[in-house]
Amino acid sequence: MPTLRELELAFVRGMFDTTDVTAERFICANGMAPAARLAIYRNNIVHNYREALRDVYPVIERLVGEDFFRFAADRYIPCHPSCQGNLHGFGGEFAAFLEQFPPAAGLPYLGDVARLEWSWHESFHAADGSAMAIDRLMTVAEAALPSLHFQLHPSCRLLASPFPVDRIWAANQPDAAESVTVDLSAGGVRLLIHRRGDAVAIEPVGDPEFALLAALMQGMPLRGALDAARAVDANFDLAAFLVQRVSDSTLAGFVVPTSTAIGSVAPPGRGQGSQRSRLQKRDLSVNRA
């Protein structure tokens, strides 16, 4: 007799490979063929996986049609079964799958549209993050500014694409006008996907800001992230970036290296203008550091 683990593995293989009949040998017919009994479970599992993909990728389904989407999903599912009980984590490899799926070769933008939908999905289900008051930056000694490690809101995702995937996404929303067309030659985009409350925003950002955000997301200190931005645009305005991204909670906090002293500075003034003025002065010190 097989062990329990061997039975479980045989069952799982039978769910995703109809040619594997190992599990059938251990099932009593009792009025129904073992293969038919297994098929009930298989159909339920595949149906649930397929519906999970449809929930995450409605734009992909609209672009290719229901029949093609089902065709693609049924070939994706056996190769990428869920590794967890929560189906919110299922489907993350669908973009890469579509890029390598020969029947979809005529739609080169499809993979990046899927990445945008997955980013939206992850952002929507991400943990909440606490807001950071911009005045907190005023408590950091100037010598410490270049070494700060900023933390992005947990919902933040970045996506770069050579296609206008944000416009493709918008044109395929339920409330979009039927006559909307998207010019694929319009150029690529750099996108910040982030959640505010229950709403997920898809926001185009400039190349220097995208470079800075990507560097911060990779764990670079402010000095390295600013260098990345100014390699794209030497005049990148760090002060304006900090005011905007702290205000909209994209930047949710920062960590000061323990080896760097923290001191006090002049009391903060009132209004965003005075905050930006002080940050611009500090920006110079970061730039010289």
Q: Is residue 6 part of a domain?
A: yes
Domain assignment present for 193: no
- Edge-to-edge strand list for the sheet holding 189-196: 157-161, 189-196, 199-204
Residue 262: predicted pLDDT: 41
The reply to whether 222 falls in a domain is no
Amino acid at 93: E
> Which pLDDT score is estimated for 241?
95
**Mean pLDDT per 10-residue section of the chain, whose length is 289 residues:** 82 78 79 82 89 97 97 94 84 97 96 98 92 83 89 97 96 84 90 93 97 97 96 95 92 80 35 47 43
Does the residue 58 lie in any domain? Answer: yes
Distance CA 241, CA 280 (A): 11
Whether residue 17 lies inside any domain: the answer is yes
CA 75 from chain center: how many Å?
A: 23
What's the total number of domains in the chain? 1
What pLDDT sits at residue 279?
52
Compute the distance between CA of residue 133 and CA of residue 17 in angstroms, rounded to an integer: 54
In-domain check, residue 172: no
- Residue 213 counted as domain residue: no
What domain range is 10 assigned to? 1-107
